[in-house]
Amino acid sequence: MIRVQREDFDPARETQALVEGKHEIGGVVSFVGLVRDLASGGAISAMTLEHYPGMTERKLAEIEAEAHARWPLAASLIIHRYGRLEPGERIVLVATASSHRDAAFEACRFLVDWLKTKAPFWKLEETPQGERWVEARAEDDRTAKEWAQPKSKPEAAE
Amino acid sequence: MKLIYFAWLKQRTGTAEEEVTPPKEVTDVAALLEWLKSRGPGYAAALRDLSVVRVAVNQEFARLDHRLEPGDEVALFPPVTGG
């Protein structure tokens, strides 16, 4: 399930709703991304996330489908916010649920890594020196590429 | 053809969205970017370094040799920084 929204979300309630009534699920892994008050260039007071409505939902759905193709997931959820956010606020929630923990852990990590390099979001930071667009990190690209070939198909784990 | 700009490409071109009819010889993404550079100093500045410009055609990432059709939606933006 994919949601792109301006409003905040409640991680506990969202993960509970995700697994509700699905008793084949043995574990749920969730990642919550937060706005830091410190960026590579120094302090920031807020950031504004811009995105490409339409393409964002399409890319997130593709990434989620890829995770389901690679791991035996019973349920998954990606919520990504846009708009102006201050330090401490939640940006993103990725939750994956499966019968066994390995699939849930790995798929969650995969989704976070891939959405950072494939979903059309851009961050504008507010700093004491003015506004600054965050530049993509080469390290994020390398991390995402490590998942290019499925390396942990369920059959390989057995 | 509909063009959409995001992040600093929107700021430098001073344009969020526009309808354009490029000349007939503009048949792919590379030619479109060259043509856009000729439309003013803001466009030229925004498109000076194409290594930091990404393009999506009809909401899919596209390479410079991607063929364009008149009704396409073409988006220009920097490398993404979500998550």
Chain A touched by B56 (CB under 8 Å): yes
Q: How far is B15 from chain A (nearest CA, A)?
A: 15
A121 contacts B80 by C-beta, under 8 angstroms: yes
pLDDT in tens, A108-137: 999 999 999 999 999 999 999 899 999 988
How high does pLDDT run on average in chain B? 96
* Other beta carbons within 10 Å of B83: 21
- Residue-by-residue DSSP string for A6-66: SS---HHHHHHHHHTT-TT--EEEEEEEE--SEETTEE-SEEEEEE-TTHHHHHHHHHHHH
Q: Please state the pTM of the whole predicted model.
A: 0.91
Residue written as tokens 């590579």? A40
pLDDT at A71: 98
Query: Rounded mean pLDDT of B53-70?
Result: 97
Select the residue of B56, B60, B78 nearest A122 (Cβ to Cβ). Answer: B78
Q: How far is B53 from chain A (nearest CA, A)?
A: 11
Q: Where are the domains of chain B?
A: 2-77
Give the chain B residue nearest A91 (alpha carbons): B83
pLDDT in tens, A50-87: 999 999 999 999 999 999 999 999 999 999 999 999 99
Contacts of A131 by beta carbon, 8 Å cutoff, 6+ apart: A124, A125
The predicted complex's ipTM stands at 0.94
pLDDT at A154: 46
Q: Find residue B58's DSSP bridge partners.
A: none
Chain A touched by B7 (CB under 8 Å): yes
Domain at B2-77, CATH homologous superfamily = Beta-grasp domain (3.10.20.30)
**Interface contact flag, B80 A119, Cβ < 8 Å:** yes
